[in-house]
Structure 1
Amino acid sequence: MGILGRKVLGLAAAAALALSAHGAAAQTELRLAVETTPGDPLNVMLTHFRDALSESAGDEVTLDFYEGGALGDEVALMEMIRVGEADVVPLGSDVVQLDEKFAIFDAPFLFGSKEDARAALDGELGDILAESLREKANLQVLAFGELGFRAISNNVRPIETPEDLQGLKLRTPGSETRIMAFEMLGAAPTPMSLGDVYVALRQGALDGQENPLSVIKEFSLHEVQDYISLTNHVYSPITLAMNGDTWDSLSEDLQAKVIEAAKIGAEATRELSEESDNNLISEFEEAGVAVNEPDIAAFKEAAAPIHEEIGQIVTPEFMAKVVELTQ
């Protein structure tokens, strides 16, 4: 073969290599991780996000999916997504450990209804929180899903008034402001991984816990609790977040597909929340659990000092803005 022929072959090989490299770069691999198992709202959000993105993006993405705490609990996953070892994680109440502005969700009775909370998160309040989380932790908020309003379960007595919380050992998330709120109400809050709560309740290491009804069901906590009190004391969103550097690396087209998939995941959790609240009370009662509706007016009165304390943490100006956007 002459020199010209060798040059032509060399150019062709280089072109093929460049094309191959371009094709490889066009496919994005994303690591998705969640602490919980199928059926739980966090898992539902990530699963629907995965399926919707897989359908819309096709061969553009490879999605590695880890559930049931395969990569660790929520606290571990928060660290992993920050350093890029995970790309997409749905975060519950513990997100406040990354950004203190999320402490507003530990302010009791901030939202009058789920509709009010959803409207705020889909609007200006959600935009403010998303901007803050990107600044504080380099996480891109994809959408806000729903854990829902939380109830208190325990094995000592029905919770009718704040006084009934006195001395109860209640599992809470690791949020310092959630812990502070229950301390101010007289309880003995105990942070613990959600996966350990069932055994702790069964063995008596805990008296009770607080979670949305759907979470109580999915973790079978009603099997080891005598009372469930529908306090609806705080509303908990799900923050579906992506590592900021990963987000920035995506094309605008793929970013749009990611956001659309996240919205589908969020809507799935809101539908689950409605279904759970409509059906689970009777299911719990049939299982022998006593379900009651507390004196909410008494709880709201007791919560006023908690709002003031949380306002000092998130700044009085931001708390005033949140109240403006949620009333």
Structure 2
Amino acid sequence: MHLRIGTRRSPLAMAQTRYIMGLIQAKRPEAEFTLCPIVTIAERNGASEFHEFGMVGVFAFEHERQLVSGEVDFVVHSLKDLPTVLHEGLVLAAVPEREDPRDALCGATLASLQSGARIGTGSLRRRAQILNLRPDVHVVPIRGNVGPRLARIEGEDSLDAVILAQAGLRRLGLEKVSAEALDPVLFPYAVGQGALGLEARAADTDVIEILKSIECPQARAEVDAERAMLHALGAGCSLPVGASASWREDRLVLQAQVTSVEGTERVVAGGSAAPERATELGLSVAETLKERGGAVILEKSYSSYYPTFRTLAARPGQ
């Protein structure tokens, strides 16, 4: 079977896609592939921070458009970039084994950061959480691929540290540049971080069967809980919502946190359930976060950082 795979053009996206190709070929040696690089809205826009796009789905819109039009057979997403509402007719067909989902501090450890240190990130969540833990540092907005971000530590107008995903570093063979993998209890990661999402057309049952063969049930339960929680909060992937999934014997444990953008407020909630009830677990944790003030914090984030908010989760034609 020949499969056309949609993917971003970055070195990390290509590494992730080749990893998926290897998993599929281990199950289906006869499979052949064509890589179809896709330029996203985010890559065409020069905004320095993701919230400046004023929309949800900047990394997924073009992928889904090409799926709907039949230009590709499935797409490989960093699952943290995929909105919780998919285009009509598309499904999250599979979630392979998850890589380390934690955030990594590169250039310094949390304890070694001096007061006034300059920390680079383009994420509102990371900004909020680092300021909550270290209100004495300054956050500098940065964007770009992993390499250029790391170069900011020693380059012109250098930063003291940058925050990146540990999974991305590992997939690129750069895990040694991580000074510290941040404790997800204190620094919960983005919903879906470290996981890959394989999106396909619901009607393409043959493609879905192939993709299902490489799914990891444990990773799927984790991200189903996390994404249900995020969706119930009405929050996009760019807002300051963090999650941490773990296992206690055969039960899935979900911890979540909503943090004000300036880091001055923090609301946490958690719970556990059997993996087949992952979605219900996510909804329950979201409800607790709302009751504890998380909804108010998120509303402030929307009004402050998304004054012209619009969503790409509801795709054209819907």
TM-score norm. by structure 2 comes to 0.48
TM-score norm. by structure 1 comes to 0.47
**Rg bigger for which structure?**
1
Larger proportion of helix:
1
Larger proportion of strand:
2
